[in-house]
Structure 1
Amino acid sequence: MSDRLVSCGIAIVGGGTSGLALATELKRLGVDDVVVLEREPIAGGVPRHCGHYPFGVRELKRVMKGPDYARTLVKNAVAAGVDIRTGTTVTALHPDARLSLSTPDGLVDMQADRVVLCTGVRESSRAQRFLGGQRPMGVLSTGALQSMVYLHHKRPFKRPVILGTELVSFSAIMTCRHMGIKPVAMIEETPRITSRQIMRPYPALFGIPVKFDASDLRILGDKQVEAVEYTDAGGIPRTVEADGVIVTGKFRPEAALLHASPIEVDPATGGPVVDQFGRTTDARYFSTGNLLRPVETSSWCWHEAVGAAKRIADDLRDPIGDCPSTHLLASDPAIRFVMPQRLAITDRNGGMEHAQIRLNTPATGHLTAISGGKTLWGDFIESRPERRILMPLAPLLKPDLTEPVQLKIIGNV
């Protein structure tokens, strides 16, 4: 820890969509001394790199490009009286809301009344995906591509392959078009696109073929990418000539700070374990936004953060304190994760209205919440991985709830 100590009311770690929306709403609710800690030289988060539409439709009632959206969020926060400290990196999370910071003026410790973690997500790297082949130049994530194109006005390649078909993969197409880059193919490891089927015609509009059921991906090239090899559904090796690879999606929470902290990490989401109020296992730390689970849109994160502000402001004025809790468990192999992972047994209202669930595999059946052999809730679902499933929490929040709540899909076919 540093010899220098500063204090604040609420410290928000991360100056992206969630952090800025949360800070602005906290000030609107009358909370004093709200500080946003942002490691980049400019606040605004991922939208700063996304020079395309549509941002801001639901939350700001305007259709905006990403950089304009980010600037507007910063402007609104500053106008509300939020203290945004850029170039400030949180290096450690200590018990009871104490932070270690690296600032332009040196090392500092900050003691807050509450800390809210809003560090967001990042795309999985080539190494994390275990992509084989050589190690040439020209392999980028969508975020790195957007930074090069929109912030530095550089064209890293002309004819790349896009790996993945998540929503961000289609964002990569828009980024390519902005700089006159023409993707030669999208390669997907599953039988259909991961994003919603409404996006299925989009690649065809720009003459980009989509290769499904691809396996054993390998990147070829000496100094620069020359081709991508894969095996198709029939077991036949295929080669797509290209001068670059855009590795998209498969998001992971930006959770490095959590692993040496007093906060429990959920191995399923990769983010913090939280209750329905957004409290972590250290009750003075909260979290909101994509750190909770990968991955939602900026609009979703904005609304989620605004809702979290009321819960955090209430806890600051009247702490929830210690109360019994039980676990919310994904007890079916088809379920990838559930968030929140804990349920606080309290008469305090105002928590999250829904649990968020994602799948490992496509599933059709009755999603059922069971505790102590008793069914608390159930509903029919037909969904796929990366699709948001919302489950109401009210039927689960019983005063006599003591056993963990297990989620299963009954009759899954």
Structure 2
Amino acid sequence: MYGPENKADVVIIGAGPAGLSAATELRRCGVQSVVVLDREPVAGGIPRHCDHYPYGLREFSRLLRGPAYARRLVVAALAAGVRIHTGVSIQSLTIGPVLTVTSDAGVRVVHARRVLIATGARETSRAARFIGGTKPGGVVSTGALQGLVHLEGINPFRAPVVLGTELVSFSALLTCRHLGIRPVAMIEPGASTTAFWPARWLPRILGIPLLLKTELLTIEGESTVSGVTIRRPNGDIERLNADGVIVSGHFRPESAILARSHIELDRHTGGPVVDQFGRCSDPDFFAAGNLLRPVETAGWSWQEGKAVGHAIAQSLQGKLPSPATGIAVELAGRSLKYVVPQRIVPTDVPPALDSFQFRVSHKAQGRLCLSINGTRKTVKSLSTVPERRIRVPLTVLPRSPSGTATFELVESDR
């Protein structure tokens, strides 16, 4: 239940790795009143659902399972003097900054000096992927599966198929293994796994067929899944017997509260437009973690939250430059999927986000080029596939940039 305070120096929305590390860092920087709000009944974020390794090496120099890692993050924040309130939903964000929140205690208006939004990302649903067929029970995301298995002790099926090969998809395989669930196949429309190459050995080790260049066409069943139809690489249509479907990956930022607010959203990421300090279009609001771009690891989000937390402390001390002098960062062509940050403010203050982060929309090879003030240069040669992290230091920009910085991936002839 949300406590009695109606104001705080910093309010953080989201009690996952990014939010909790930012909160802990803010207290270490001397910020007096730091409050974390989360709609879940227990703090810790997605790692609470992931009862497998590897977590914690970067943060605690120990190899931990997800729930143990989440508990350590919470304990560290509480020990630093952070106040955490769960079961709280955010209804609105307005200039001030002001938040309207609801909980079992009712509706409350909270005033803050700064707000950090760290609501993370969510997987794309079956409906959003336009998978045909009937609508039986037993079609779940990885997050829903992990919640059922690890938080509620429910075994939702015995022989599902897994759609996708992102890191979270392999996490789904480990979750299945935990309860003796044996997927009948792992289905990937692309020519190779999306996750890095060592992951592709996991299905083989577990004896699960990995079907590449294969499309999931329909899901069949009445009350529960009875099977799926797939299209093989040669065009043949085949039916697989299955009692469930795990629709994994294709993450999107959890930005619903921002869509209802005055804060500018980026059309490429679906998250907020931020500068190199994680500062939003309203400079009283900051963002960090997977809300910025889907999707990074818990360790990456933790590190990013810590850095943005430090930037918020600097902001409260008046040490950040005015956002009015910033330049826009844009993309040209169709090869680049997104870039973060999308705005750069000329300054000597060290950034929280020290590099541009990119993803590509398809397998690509070529030169990453930067155009600014009428000049164009190659900043990096690339050979990459979707969902691979691409980083370019902010120092590729002139010391005092002006105008618009445009990145484009010029692909080589194939």
Same fold (TM over 0.5): yes
**Aligned residue in 2 for 1:345:** 346
Change (3 A) 1:30 1:397: farther
Establish whether residue 246 from structure 1 lines up as the match of residue 212 from structure 2: no
For 1:114 and 1:412, the matched residues in 2 are separated by 45
- Please say if residues 50 and 66 of structure 1, whose CA atoms lie closer than 8 Å, have aligned partners that are also in contact: yes
**Aligned residue in 2 for 1:329:** 330
- The two structures, once aligned, show a CA RMSD in angstroms of 1.4
**Aligned residue in 2 for 1:186:** 186
Find the residue that maps to 1:67 and give its secondary structure: helix
**Aligned residue in 2 for 1:290:** 290
- Please say if residues 379 and 396 of structure 2, whose CA atoms lie closer than 8 Å, have aligned partners that are also in contact: no
Give the gaps of 5 or more residues in structure 1.
none
**Aligned residue in 1 for 2:230:** 230
Establish whether residue 277 from structure 1 lines up as the match of residue 277 from structure 2: yes
Identity of aligned residues (%): 44
For 2:301 and 2:210, the matched residues in 1 are separated by 30
Establish whether residue 79 from structure 1 lines up as the match of residue 76 from structure 2: no
Superposition deviation, residue 322 in structure 1? 4.1
- Please say if residues 131 and 218 of structure 2, whose CA atoms lie closer than 8 Å, have aligned partners that are also in contact: yes
Q: Output one character per residue of 1:378-401: Cα deviation in whole Å (capped at 9) or x when no partner.
A: 1111111000000111221532x2
Find the residue that maps to 2:300 and give its secondary structure: helix
Q: How does 1:5-154 map to 2 (within 5 A)?
A: 6-154=6-154
Q: Output one character per residue of 1:38-74: Cα deviation in whole Å (capped at 9) or x when no partner.
A: 1111100101111111110111111111111111111
For 2:14 and 2:99, the matched residues in 1 are separated by 13
Report how many aligned residue pairs link the two structures: 409
| Aligned residue identity for 2:78 | V
For 2:198 and 2:409, the matched residues in 1 are separated by 26
Find the residue that maps to 1:58 and give its secondary structure: helix
For 1:222 and 1:195, the matched residues in 2 are separated by 33
Superposition deviation, residue 27 in structure 1? 0.7
- Please say if residues 132 and 217 of structure 1, whose CA atoms lie closer than 8 Å, have aligned partners that are also in contact: yes
| Aligned residue identity for 2:234 | G
Deviates more, 1:367-376 or 1:54-63: 367-376
Superposition deviation, residue 403 in structure 1? 2.2
Find the residue that maps to 1:323 and give its secondary structure: helix
- Please say if residues 376 and 395 of structure 1, whose CA atoms lie closer than 8 Å, have aligned partners that are also in contact: no
Superposition deviation, residue 321 in structure 1? 3.0
**Aligned residue in 2 for 1:255:** 255
Superposition deviation, residue 5 in structure 1? 8.4
| Aligned residue identity for 2:394 | L
Q: Output one character per residue of 1:99-153: Cα deviation in whole Å (capped at 9) or x when no partner.
A: 0010222111111000000000111111111111111111011011101111111
Runs of 4+ with deviation above 6 angstroms: none
> TM-score if structure 1 supplies the norm length?
0.96
Change (3 A) 1:184 1:216: closer
| Aligned residue identity for 2:238 | R
Find the residue that maps to 2:92 and give its secondary structure: strand
Give the gaps of 5 or more residues in structure 2.
none
- Please say if residues 141 and 246 of structure 2, whose CA atoms lie closer than 8 Å, have aligned partners that are also in contact: yes
For 2:351 and 2:170, the matched residues in 1 are separated by 36
Superposition deviation, residue 377 in structure 1? 5.3
- Please say if residues 376 and 396 of structure 1, whose CA atoms lie closer than 8 Å, have aligned partners that are also in contact: no
Superposition deviation, residue 320 in structure 1? 3.0
Superposition deviation, residue 294 in structure 1? 0.3
For 1:216 and 1:111, the matched residues in 2 are separated by 48
- Please say if residues 118 and 288 of structure 1, whose CA atoms lie closer than 8 Å, have aligned partners that are also in contact: yes
| Aligned residue identity for 1:311 | A
| Aligned residue identity for 1:370 | S
Superposition deviation, residue 217 in structure 1? 1.6
For 2:219 and 2:134, the matched residues in 1 are separated by 6
Find the residue that maps to 1:15 and give its secondary structure: coil
For 1:38 and 1:339, the matched residues in 2 are separated by 25
**Aligned residue in 2 for 1:389:** 390
> TM-score if structure 2 supplies the norm length?
0.96
Find the residue that maps to 2:129 and give its secondary structure: coil
Find the residue that maps to 2:6 and give its secondary structure: strand
